[in-house]
Amino acid sequence: MKGLIFALVIIACHSLNVTPIMASDYTLKIFGNANMDDTIDEDDIVYVERIIDGTNEVTELADANYDGKVDKDDITHIELIIRGEEKELTLIDMADRIVTIPRPIERVVAPSVAIMRMVIQCGGVDKLVGVSAYIDKYADNMVCVAAYPELKELPFVGYEGQENYELMVSLKPDVIFTSSSYADQTQETTCIPVVSISIPSFYEAGSFEAYRLVSRIMGTEEMVEELISYADEKFDEVTDITSQIPDDEKPGVYFCHAQGATDITRAVVKYDPLDMAGGVNVADELWNGVGSTVVDISKEQVIKWNPDIIMLHGFGKTHESFSIESVLEDPDLQSVNAIKNRNIYYTKGWYIGWDPATGVAETFYMAKIFHPDEFEDLNVEEEGNKILERFYGIEDLYTWILNNSDYVRWDL
């Protein structure tokens, strides 16, 4: 009997032990991370010493100075990386390309709005020297431009995939971030290191991997690790409450994508903030795990789903294609619960792409709409301002959003 208990204790201890390792299965893909964990530290030096004396197998990232062999020079290079004094750093980017970048990074070009936002949130707004031409068009609707109006004054290097290479070269950046499939050509043509970043489209496991890579390159990894934990905690704050709510008490929500649509027939089939805020996405049955998150459906389908709440994606004070009013007046939809009870609201969604900062704030916003009783004491504006300040370093950004949109504003 004693033996059995002992065995159980061993098993219990073992499983406790395993969990944290599973949680940090992120590998920092920088040459010098010889033991393939999530950081470069003294352990990597020990690991390389053991590779040299033959005890350890050579790992993919052991060749710190990327000269094709693992030797004493790599230990020197790892020591430099740990002290932050290395002159260059070789890494594997998110398109599995091996890129060598100079250190430290002082000048950055980001022709993608999403990556530009990432650079800003990773504390690199001062290092941006060229941005997307997108800003030219949408400056008035962008949170990051509201936070840093000086972005409008930076040279526009074109649209991603269609950049003005000559202009990019003239800005003499240390690194170019891109999400297009043309990373190799861009690097070959401009002779500037190009790091390929895949942009997450919503909150999911690994969605901050891009942040980890960008911040490591910018040298702000400690700050960004804290930011990631903060975002996770904030999401947890909502889900701790919404996960207690039984599914049959959660409202059915139809999230309608407005871009390129003339009526409410573009369904968003997957949007994490909606689920985390305690809603049931009525279009969830159309989500197959990959591919497009926006699907065209018929009005008949909306009537069949009969959602309790409709969220319209968008921003701004003008609603060109359709508005809450026009949907409410649609004679075809009068049988739908959300229309009968006038439960229809605007929300940001993917307007100008997924931004975890506004995504966290939006989760609180939707939670209060979906479950007014559970979130009675929640002050969305105050919470939103705090969240956006944490990400952008600027006060009152959520108030700016409210002033420039028709989102719900609760009087307290």
Which parts of this chain interact with other proteins (CB under 8 A)? 95-97, 133, 155-167, 169-170, 172, 179-185, 188-191, 198-199, 201, 291-293
Which residues are CB-contacts of 182 (< 8 A; sequence separation ≥ 6)? Answer: 161
Q: How many helices (DSSP H) and strands (DSSP E) are in the chain?
A: 17, 14
Question: Which is closer to other proteins, CB of 169 or CB of 394?
Answer: 169
> How distant, in Å, are the alpha carbons of 101, 238, 239, 322, 323 from that of 246?
50, 15, 12, 34, 32
**CB 290 to other proteins: min, Å:** 8
Instruction: Residue 107: name the closest of 80, 131, 126, 91 by CA.
Output: 126
**CB 301 to other proteins: min, Å:** 17
**CB 288 to other proteins: min, Å:** 9
Which residues are CB-contacts of 174 (< 8 A; sequence separation ≥ 6)? Answer: 101, 102, 105, 106, 107, 108, 192, 193
For residues 285 and 228, what is the distance between their CA atoms, to the nearest angstrom? 30
Question: Which is closer to other proteins, CB of 172 or CB of 340?
Answer: 172
Question: Which is closer to other proteins, CB of 269 or CB of 282?
Answer: 269
Question: Which is closer to other proteins, CB of 162 or CB of 403?
Answer: 162
**CB 105 to other proteins: min, Å:** 19
Look-up of token digits 């891009």: 210
For residues 126 and 148, what is the distance between their CA atoms, to the nearest angstrom? 10
Are 35 and 44 spatial neighbours (Cβ–Cβ below 8 Å)? yes
**CB 262 to other proteins: min, Å:** 17
For residues 300 and 303, what is the distance between their CA atoms, to the nearest angstrom? 5
Question: Which is closer to other proteins, CB of 170 or CB of 403?
Answer: 170
Query: Phi-psi region for residue 216, left (φ > 0), alpha (ψ -120 to 50) or beta?
Result: alpha
**CB 198 to other proteins: min, Å:** 8
For residues 405 and 148, what is the distance between their CA atoms, to the nearest angstrom? 19
Distance of CA 92 to the CA centre of its chain: 19
**CB 137 to other proteins: min, Å:** 10
Question: Which is closer to other proteins, CB of 172 or CB of 304?
Answer: 172
Question: Which is closer to other proteins, CB of 96 or CB of 411?
Answer: 96
